[in-house]
Amino acid sequence: MQITLKRQFLFFVLLATSFPSLAGDSLYVNTFNTFRLLKMVNGWLETGNMAGLVLNQQNKSWKIETGYDNSNGQFHLIRDGENVNDYSLSTESFQTLGKRIFLYGKFACHSLDETGGQWNGTYDPYNGNPYILSDSLSGTTYHKENYNLAGGIGFSLNDRISLGAGLDYYIGVAAKQKDPRPKNIYIRFKVNPALIFTTSKYKLGIDIGYKIKIEEIDYNVLRSNFLPSYFAYKGLGFFDRIVDTRYYRFLTAHEFLGGVQFEKKRGNIPSLTELRFNYDVEGIEDGITEIRKKDGGEWRTYQVVLTEQVCIQNGLSHYRITGGFTFFNGDGNEFLQNLVNSGQFNTPTYVTIGENLKFNRQTFRGQISCNYLKHKDQGRIDWDATVGVNYLNNREQYFYIPELFGAGYSNITGNLFIQKNLYFGKCHLALSLNLGYTSDLSKDLQLSSLPEITKKQRQDVYLQEFDYYTSNVLKSGGEVKIGRKFMATHQPAQVYLSLCCDRLNQLNEGRSFNYFGAKIGMVF
């Protein structure tokens, strides 16, 4: 794959979407909080309906940001790095063409080095799919690069009907720096058209979408005297072990999604309700000449999400209460296959003789949060505070016929965010505090100690992940942002510097994980 050509293509698209925003002429005050204000004022931007762009109150906004993030520590999932360096560049823009066309664009790229992760050869090992390909090599560096180009359009057809559509393209490439080294190519593309019907009493929206995801994993060995082992995981630590000089896996996923939105005022208080549904099928094929499925599985999932937003405006004070529920179900089907020779040339072919449901995951989430904004004026925030509570219940089962093994846990997390904004002439200072606490409510683990079963299960890998998800964790951190206003092309703008740090403390065992980030950006 010609990565250089893709970089050039995305760069020119970035320029094409960015330049129009520099030609605007607006009296609106722009700060590093502008994009947050846009989403607070227009709750439709937090839904999956891109037609909600037509409800934007501001004509043009654009920002560009570059930064560096480092995270390190012992408290992390086993397949994640214990030291990660991330260099990034991003831009985001809202545009208005005339009175009917509203545009949104986003571009982001990252270059990461992850060191210290184990049992992983997949680009995103924690995307939910239990069928993970890995090796036993530890301590090496996993270099990753990714690019994300997304955009949307809203079109006001008339006073009642608004149309919209969104596109999202993501590509990632990765490679380990030591044998056996996987080379990953990860591609994701999504498209979703949308519609909003407006009356004097309510707004009714609907959107549908399709997403395709592809990942190619090609394990290579550069040393001729090295015969590595590969591990194809299947959930709860169960695996198939393959000894070979090379391993190739091709994963494809097709997702169908949609949502319905309903906004109505009750008195002077508007509320926005959204119900979303998605169905996803992910299939795996191993090998290049002899395609097989017996070492992987098919991952079928569906998810239902219900959210509610209630907004209250009282002068310069703005309140938004958000609540919701999510139910997720995932089934992993494994294949029984025999190798047969067919045709006049006795071509080896894997033939499926059976398919069994072997793994199931069900997750329930509930969350509620309240955000308070105190404005200094139309475009500037004085105080910004959010308090929220999240509940999670997760249950997994592996059907090791005739035995049944399972794991389950539930926890609750409380979050508090406070930001104070100070303005000194052309200068802008924001001080933020971010606190969170996760408490383990219950956990249940049922595994086997029989040698004939555990020889096909890496319990140490699964136990590390289970311990991570069932720990009591304290999160503490803060951020300092400094901005200065300047004039560019007759439009007020701001250049800013952001410094932030966060720390996770595992209270039961004393391990920790630290985050540090520094960013420089401009808002027009």
Model confidence pLDDT, tens digit, residues 197-222: 999 999 999 999 999 999 999 998 88
* Tokens matching residue 262: 């309903």
d(C-alpha 79, C-alpha 142), whole Å: 11
Collapsing DSSP to helix, strand or coil, 283 comes out as: strand
Tell me if 272 sits within 8 A of 43, measured CB to CB.
Answer: yes
For residue 186, give the nearest of 168, 174, 197 by alpha carbon: 174
> What token pair was written down for 459?
């319990």
Does residue 281 contact residue 315 with C-beta atoms inside 8 Å? no
Stretch 280-295: mean pLDDT: 93
Rounded CA separation 44/247 (Å): 45
User: In the predicted model, is pLDDT for residue 16 greater than 60?
Assistant: no
The DSSP letter of residue 130 is S
Bond before 180 cis per omega within 30 degrees: yes
- Residue 174 class from Cβ within 10 Å (0-12 exposed, 13-18 middle, 19+ buried)? buried
pLDDT at 1 exceeding the cut of 60: no
pTM, two decimals, is: 0.91
Considering just the CA atoms, what is the radius of gyration of the chain in Å? 25
The pLDDT assigned to 397 comes to 96
Q: Is the CA virtual torsion 37, 39, 43, 44 positive or negative? A: positive
Q: Please say if the pLDDT value at position 97 is more than 70.
A: yes
Dihedral sign of CA atoms 130, 135, 136, 138 in order:
negative
Both tokens of 430, joined, read 């924001």
Look at residue 58 in the predicted model and tell me its pLDDT: 67
Query: How confident is the model over 291-296, as a mean pLDDT?
Result: 92
Of 234-238, 310-314, 418-422, where does mean pLDDT reach its minimum? Answer: 310-314
Strand order in the sheet with 133-135: 133-135, 229-235, 238-243
Q: Which amino acid is at 227?
A: L
Q: Measured at the alpha carbon of residue 487, what is the angle toward residues 483 and 492, in degrees to the nearest 5?
A: 70
C-alpha 243: how far from chain center:
33
CA distance 69 to 285: 35
Measure the N-to-C terminal CA separation of the chain; round to a whole number of Å: 36
For residue 464 the two structure tokens come to 């590390």
Asked whether the beta carbons of 495 and 522 are under 8 A apart, the reply is: yes
